[in-house]
Amino acid sequence: MTTKYKDVYIADVSTVVGPYEAKGPLSKRFDRSYEDMYFGTDSLETAEVKLMTDSIDILLNKLKKDKSDIDLFIAGDLQNQIATSSYTAGKIKRPFLGIYSACATNTEGLIMASNFLESKTCDEVVVSVSSHNMVAEKQFRNPTEYGAPKPGTATFTATGGASCYLTTKKSKVRIASSTIGIVQDYDQTDPMDMGAVMAPAAANTINDHLNNLDQTVDDYDLILTGDLGIYGKEILIDFMKTEYGIDISNKYNDCGTMLYDLEEQKDVQAGGSGPVCSALVVYSDIIKKLQNKELKRVLYVATGALFNPTMVFQKENILSIAHAISLESVE
Amino acid sequence: MEKKIYDKLVYDHRPQEKRGQNAVIAFLIGGIIGVIGELLVEFYGYYLDISRADASIFMIITLIFLASLFTALGFFDKWVKFAKCGLIIPITGFAHSMTSAAIEYKKEGLVTGLGANMFKLAGTVILYGVVSAYIFGFIRLIIMGGA
């Protein structure tokens, strides 16, 4: 499903990161970074809540706004029952919708916000996402101190919080259109190779988006996927070519491979992942390039592996989804 | 795209794991742990003047203590990442799996957190260790008459 928007603008964005992201190539562009994984809190889970609340505080400060200005707060994360979002919403005390699409959560939130704004249901919406490496490891895999060996295709959950302030008032960047993805099942069962799980979802959504809007790859300066990692990226390029006859290779990049220095930070294996991974790259880098017109039009396709450990242990496949939004710099 | 064709596409882009190198590292590190164990047995046997069976128990306790201590101090996971099964298969891996789970869940309380989750990884080893010991004990009783 593809929707066009006339009056949806991004007023500003904010990013908060953990120590590992702060050592990456985008290090200087984040609004705040922390040196340990607890950020002065007692537990990893509350630390993630701090990441998200911090990102909202920074965002409101930048715009000189108050919590009461927010008409609607949409947020999602990776913690069980999206606890980070709920506990953040508990502090914000504004109307709240909690969402989940794994690592595609950010675009899901932006699409929902855009629809609310376009229909004039509300004027100012904040969309937040977060993830915390150790919270995700504890929940989905082994204890963090265990250090279980992983294959090269494994990705590394990014630690951070990111927020976006959307409004109907004109600004330098707008959301021009969006496509809601369809869940894909390609018989993938390896939780250590999420790139292979998610690539078909990304391909399907990109193709739908271009077809529905009668566009080609040339209409975009950059096509950006969420967190496919090095190998998922190669799979997507091949998949697009063979399945749809579309060559995206010279306009395409993946946020998972941009967040870290893959040569220096070997621990991340195939790249970054998590709902916040693509948000950190888009908000710290891409939005700024759109604001100063270095880029005109970007297709941002966040990809999510709808991974549930219980279902995988019961030999079910891992499903995936991707949602796309088109970001444009405003003349 | 058909799922079989997609599987081939995924396979073509999958990086080769360094299985040979991993095996050699695991063999050498595992061997070194064995040597350390043997030295400890000799040490305890000589200085404490105890039997080899008793010295073996002392050796196991020492290795478990050291692995747990190093896990708690926060650097054993980095060693495991490097040595892989060289440290996971010996008794050090067993201790490490329990300590790492205990650290992870301490915040959720002594009963609902630490108590309930400490054996998350080690529980399987204990269960199937006991079951196979029972089976092999039976086989030994039947074939060798318990000798």
Determine contact: A145 vs chain B, CB below 8 A: yes
Residue of A225, A322, A199, A226 whose CA lies nearest to B1: A199
| Number of cross-chain residue pairs from A and B with Cβ atoms under 8 Å apart | 79
CA torsion angle A212 A273 A223 A30 (round to 10):
120
Residue of A221, A204, A201, A223 whose CA lies nearest to A319: A201
pLDDT at res. B1: 82
For residue A41, the one-letter residue type is T
Task: Write out chain B residues lying below 8 Å of A266, CB-based.
Answer: none
pLDDT at res. A19: 94
Task: Write out chain A residues lying below 8 Å of B12, CB-based.
Answer: 238
Determine contact: A266 vs chain B, CB below 8 A: no
Domain of residue B16: give its range.
3-144
Structure tokens at A288: 């700024």
A255 has a pLDDT exceeding 70: yes
Q: List Cβ neighbours of B43 (8 Å cut-off, separation of 6 or more).
A: B55
pLDDT at res. B147: 65
Which of the residues A49, A133, A146, A237 would you substitute to probe the B interface, choosing the one with the greatest number of B C-beta atoms within 10 Å?
Answer: A146
pLDDT at res. A108: 97
Nearest to B107 among A43, A196, A231 (CB): A43
Task: Write out chain A residues lying below 8 Å of B104, CB-based.
Answer: 138, 143-145
Region A19-37: mean pLDDT is 94
A82 has a pLDDT exceeding 80: yes
**Reported ipTM:** 0.84
Q: List Cβ neighbours of B87 (8 Å cut-off, separation of 6 or more).
A: B29, B30, B33, B67, B76, B79, B80, B93, B96
* For B103, nearest residue in chain A (alpha carbons): A145
Task: Write out chain A residues lying below 8 Å of B79, CB-based.
Answer: 147
**How far off is chain A from B51, nearest CA to CA, in Å?**
34
For residue A6, the one-letter residue type is K
Q: Do A242 and B84 touch (CB under 8 A)?
A: no
Structural domain count, chain B: 1
Between CA B9 and CA A186 the distance in angstroms is 12
pLDDT in tens, B57-108: 999 999 999 999 999 998 888 888 888 888 988 989 889 999 999 988 988 9
Between CA A57 and CA A70 the distance in angstroms is 12
pLDDT in tens, A302-314: 999 999 999 999 9
pLDDT at res. A52: 97
Region A173-195: mean pLDDT is 95
**How far off is chain A from B120, nearest CA to CA, in Å?**
9
Nearest to A146 among B7, B15, B97 (CB): B97
**How far off is chain B from A73, nearest CA to CA, in Å?**
29
pLDDT at res. B63: 95
- For the stretch B18-36, what's the b/e string if a residue is b when 16 or more beta carbons lie within 10 angstroms of its beta carbon? eeeebeebbeebbeebeeb
pLDDT in tens, A211-239: 999 999 999 999 999 999 999 999 999 99
pLDDT at res. A146: 81
Report chain B's mean pLDDT, rounded to a whole number: 91
Maximum CA pair distance of chain B?
71
**How far off is chain A from B49, nearest CA to CA, in Å?**
36
Between CA A327 and CA A86 the distance in angstroms is 28
Region A244-254: mean pLDDT is 95
Please name the fold of domain A173-329.
Answer: Peroxisomal Thiolase; Chain A, domain 1 (3.40.47)
Residue of A185, A183, A215 whose CA lies nearest to A323: A183
CA torsion angle A21 A27 A31 A35 (round to 10):
50
For chain A, where are the alpha helices, taking DSSP H only? 19-22, 44-63, 83-92, 105-118, 133-140, 194-212, 229-239, 255-258, 275-281, 287-291, 309-313
Is the Cα torsion angle B137, B142, B145, B147 positive or negative in sign?
A: negative
A144 has a pLDDT exceeding 80: no
Nearest to A138 among B76, B84, B104 (CB): B104
Considering only A53-62, A128-137, A220-229, B76-85, which range has the smallest mean pLDDT?
A: B76-85
Band of residue A149 on the pLDDT scale cut at 50, 70, 90: confident
Question: Where in the sequence of chain A do the CATH 3.40.47.40 domains occur?
Answer: 2-167, 173-329
- CATH code for the structural domain at A2-167: 3.40.47.40
pLDDT at res. A254: 97
Determine contact: A146 vs chain B, CB below 8 A: yes
Nearest to A145 among B14, B103, B120 (CB): B103
State which H helix or E strand residue B70 sits in: helix B52-73
Q: Do B17 and A151 touch (CB under 8 A)?
A: yes
Report chain A's mean pLDDT, rounded to a whole number: 95
Q: Which residues pair with A222 in a beta bridge?
A: A298
